[in-house]
């Protein structure tokens, strides 16, 4: 497994410390690294997923609608020459898939399987302990503090309802077994609070 060097990591950490962030911080990356370690036996190309993990929120401005594309493009630029071109492009495609949390149609085989695990890890917060999930919701609200309360409440409830309407929140059997029920309970509780 090829890991980013210290210079790249320090540059990323500076990005994840930007003032507009509350949830999308280095703590989020460290949380995903924990899941990465737990699920690593199921991941075919650890380099592909590790680089996607580090860069997936590298560009994060709640006022933008292209953060995922910009993060993927940043990985393409900063990862060039550090990992094989095919691995780099697959990692970038996985990052782009976080925009809607749907599996990318341009990947297949092991790359698609790895994307499934990555997307599941990225939504692991939905299944967190209630106090951690509530802090996550508060942090998302902070990141969108420029949005009026009424607009935010409606938009956030719709996003959460979109997740709840999915037949399955998680793509992989192992993550579904671990997280699906708790995530749905957290989402339902959050919607009820937003609509109260």
User: 33: closest CA among 14, 15, 49, 16?
Assistant: 49
Question: In the chain, how many domains are there?
Answer: 2
- Helix 173-195 to helix 130-143 angle (10° resolution) is 60
- Distances in whole angstroms, Cα of residue 55 to Cα of each of 30, 63, 75, 139, 192: 12, 19, 6, 20, 33
Q: Pick from 73, 93, 122: which residue ends a domain? A: 122
pLDDT digits 0-9 by tens, 105-114: 999 999 999 9
Query: Does one domain contain both 104 and 131?
Result: no
The answer to whether position 1 is within a domain reads no
pLDDT digits 0-9 by tens, 22-70: 999 999 999 999 999 999 999 999 999 999 999 999 999 999 999 999 9
CB 54 within 8 A of CB 84: no
Query: Does one domain contain both 64 and 158?
Result: no
Query: What is the rounded distance in angstroms from the CA atom of residue 23 to the CA atom of residue 140?
Result: 6
CATH number for the domain that contains residue 19:
1.10.3210.10
Domain that includes residue 146, residue range = 126-195
């Amino acid at each position: 497994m090829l890991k980013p060097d210290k210079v790249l990591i320090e540059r990323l950490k500076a990005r994840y410390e930007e003032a507009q962030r509350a949830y999308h911080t280095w703590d989020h990356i460290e949380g995903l690294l924990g899941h990465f370690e737990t699920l690593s036996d199921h991941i075919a190309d650890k380099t592909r997923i590790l680089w996607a993990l580090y860069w997936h929120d590298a560009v994060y401005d709640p006022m933008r609608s292209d953060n995922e594309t910009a993060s993927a493009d940043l990985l393409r630029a900063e990862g060039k020459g550090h990992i094989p071109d095919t691995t780099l492009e697959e990692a970038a495609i996985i990052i782009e898939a976080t925009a809607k949390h749907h599996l990318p149609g341009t990947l297949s085989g092991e790359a698609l399987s790895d994307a499934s695990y990555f997307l599941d890890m990225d939504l692991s917060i939905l299944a967190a302990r209630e106090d951690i999930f509530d802090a996550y919701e508060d942090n998302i609200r902070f990141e969108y503090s420029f949005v009026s309360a009424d607009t935010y409440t409606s938009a956030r409830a719709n996003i959460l309802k979109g997740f709840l309407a999915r037949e399955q929140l998680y793509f992989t059997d192992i993550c579904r077994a671990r997280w699906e029920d708790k995530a749905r309970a957290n989402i339902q509780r959050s919607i009820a609070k937003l609509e109260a």
